[in-house]
Amino acid sequence: MFPEQASTFAPEVDHLLYFLLGVSVFFTVLIFGALFYFAIRYRRRSEQELPAVVHGGMALEILWTVIPFGLTMIMFTWGASIFFRESRPPNNAMNIYVVGKQWMWKLQHQEGQREINELHIPVGVPVKLTMTSEDVIHSFFVPAFRTKQDVVPGRYSTTWFTPTKPGKYHLFCAEYCGTKHSGMIGWVYVMERKDYQDWLSGGRAMGSLAENGEKLFMSLACGNCHHPDGSGRCPSLVGLYNSNVRLSSGNDIHADEAYIRESILQPNAKVVAGFQPVMPTFQGLVTEEGVLQLIEYVKSLSQTPAATPAVNTNAPLTPSATPTPKR
């Protein structure tokens, strides 16, 4: 009846579901029982029978208003508390990027590993997914984690979970996205931490996301204008991520992933105060995966070495490798 429980959210979601099912079954039985009982007990016994007129009872009215109100408020607060926690990834979560397209899931680890329709993650570690789509709306659904989040073109959506059990779990697309929607499936492999480290070290030659982002940054000649010391025609990107930016409109904006993405694809949407709108758009020149690599590079410019996550390795740059923004 129920998929396996393999994340910290799974038992919580199930308990709420059991409660909803219990309340529904109780009232279904109560209402239909009363319906049949009253239909028989107060049936019309002769052609001439006219029942006495009843003008309602205040106690009954209050009772059947207050009880359902209380029950629905319990459902609301319980559901909202799970929803809020599922919407807020913890700061120490491992960041993995997801790009959906007709009809596959493309995943990138910060260390550089790329996967298609497969996701390898360690057990017991919170994992945050930052997701976007290249074409239409998809939905990232792992029943064993009780996680389902729409993946929308043109914006980033996030979800997170902490897997609790090593194993192999179904990954589905849960939003009808065209002919082969039903084939847009895959597997999530939850591994022991040591196995995950071994798996991770298998693909280091490709370079980390930030390193690939740096190569892309160079090949697109972004550095011609974005000088690190701020002397260029465009703002310095050092320390940009997670900072507050004053715009030429006079407003401030928090420099998150969505802002950096927009500034690459629609540079003139939000121009930094004191600068001219001279940057050309990179729409069509950079794939969504390339944008994510550039974002990781910009993020890396804001990190002191000590602040980088423990899973990051100081793998040497491989100058021979070329940037590979695959479509």
Q: Which residues bind ligand CUA (CB under 6 A)?
A: 100, 103, 138, 173, 175-177, 181, 184
The number of beta carbons lying within 10 Å of the beta carbon of residue 263 is 25
| Nearest distance from C-beta of residue 98 to ligand CUA, angstroms | 12
Q: What share of the chain is helix, strand, coil (3-state, %, to 5)?
A: 35, 20, 40
Omega within 30 of 0 (cis) for the link into 160: no
SS3 of 235, please? coil
* DSSP 8-class letter at 155: S
| Comparison of 103 and 217: residue with beta carbon closer to ligand CUA | 103
| Comparison of 11 and 183: residue with beta carbon closer to ligand CUA | 183
Comparing CA positions, the residue from 1, 327, 5, 323 lying closest to residue 164 is 5
| Comparison of 141 and 145: residue with beta carbon closer to ligand CUA | 141
| Comparison of 133 and 212: residue with beta carbon closer to ligand CUA | 133
| Nearest distance from C-beta of residue 180 to ligand CUA, angstroms | 8
| Comparison of 120 and 181: residue with beta carbon closer to ligand CUA | 181
| Nearest distance from C-beta of residue 49 to ligand CUA, angstroms | 60
Phi, psi of 20 (to 5 degrees): -60, -45
| Nearest distance from C-beta of residue 63 to ligand CUA, angstroms | 46
Comparing CA positions, the residue from 80, 164, 163 lying closest to residue 128 is 163
| Nearest distance from C-beta of residue 170 to ligand CUA, angstroms | 14
Comparing CA positions, the residue from 236, 275, 303, 245 lying closest to residue 95 is 303
| Nearest distance from C-beta of residue 153 to ligand CUA, angstroms | 11
| Comparison of 10 and 184: residue with beta carbon closer to ligand CUA | 184
The token pair that represents 261 in the structure block:
């993405």
| Comparison of 117 and 303: residue with beta carbon closer to ligand CUA | 117
| Nearest distance from C-beta of residue 282 to ligand CUA, angstroms | 26
Comparing CA positions, the residue from 96, 162, 179 lying closest to residue 132 is 96
Contact 174, 186 (CB under 8 A): no
Distance CA 196, CA 260 (A): 30
